[in-house]
Amino acid sequence: ASPAPDDFADRNEALAWLDDERANLTGSVAAAADAGHHDIAVNLPVVLYDYFTWRGYYDDLISVTKIACRIAHQTGALAAEAGAWNNLGIALSEASRYEEAFRAYDRALGLFTSLGNENERGKVLNGLGLALWEYGRPAEALRAHQEAVAIQRVTGDLREQAAALNNLSLALQDLEDYAEACAAAEEAASHFQGLGDTADEASALCTAAFALQASGKIKEAHAACRRALTASRAAGNPLTEAATLMTCAQLDDLTTQQQIDYLLQAEAACERANAAELRATALSGIGLAFTAAGERDQAVAHFGRAQRLFEELGLTKQAAEVGEEIAALQS
């Protein structure tokens, strides 16, 4: 292991050091637990949380956070254990392991309820609601987000209120309550803008764009997406930029060339962000757009790159679907 310098020149230099030391940092959590250094075993996963989520290393985050849950429980550190279960719920959700995520969130809710910590209970409800929505249970997600918003209005935590409002909008859209969905997403974006949180502002504006589009307000939807793209670039996180560009590409009333331009920019941002699955999805979208434009060779080239990435990731179903597109173009 190489020692961290006293100061990094910039974020990229810091991330490069973390990437080099990733295996050592992950291993340090297990080593600390085995050696009886309980504080390190519980706290280091919290310190590593932002890095692992930024890079999308959810398997690493799950493994170290499970250790934190175990050690915090053994040592009776209830607040730390509750926080660790919540972080584990988030990591499992990101890894699409939803049934396990629900159990982790339930543990966190029980502990924060026993501690009387309403603000943290609201955060857990927001995470649980998002996982329920992603798992296709929007009515249950709606109830969780409504409770989370109500809690955070009382606690006065604007950031958490905004996060819950954004996710509430997603559930409302699935339940086809578009007027309320627009209002919730716009309120979320306004709060995030006031807090100077450009990444989350971009996410909320994307949510608003879909709600506006579903309401038939296409021009307003495009305007929201343009605002989101400006905010995402100000945030400096290529993953945020990629997600925003992917959203822009899904809007109605785009020309094929506009859609391709958005997706090409998204694919480049995914490469910078080390987001392989999203990059493969972008490449597949580019292939579909070129197919619609009648540019068969370009379509086959981009589908081929998407197929190779999906295969490398072990996503055989997606790889097979892309393979079918290639076969249809070559028949």
300: CATH: 1.25.40.10
How many domains does the chain divide into? 2
Task: Identify the domain containing residue 98 by its residue range.
Answer: 11-241
What residues contact 36, with CB distance under 8 A and at least 6 apart? none
Element (H, E) at 230: helix 218-235
Contact between 180 and 211 (Cβ < 8 Å):
no
Q: Are residues 110 and 227 in the same domain?
A: yes
Q: Are residues 144 and 47 in the same domain?
A: yes
Burial of 113 (0-12, 13-18, 19+ CB in 10 A): middle
Q: Residue 3: its pLDDT value, please?
A: 62
Q: Are residues 160 and 292 in the same domain?
A: no
Contact between 152 and 122 (Cβ < 8 Å):
yes
44 located within any domain: yes
Parts of the chain with a pLDDT under 50? none
Tell me the C-alpha distance between 81 and 65, whole Å. Answer: 10
Map tokens 């941002």 to a residue: 269
What residues contact 80, with CB distance under 8 A and at least 6 apart? 42, 43, 68, 72
Question: What are the start-end ranges of the E strands in 14-113?
Answer: none
202 located within any domain: yes
Q: Are residues 177 and 282 in the same domain?
A: no
Q: Residue 11: its pLDDT value, please?
A: 79
| Alpha-carbon dihedral 238, 243, 246, 250, rounded to 10 degrees | -160
248 located within any domain: no
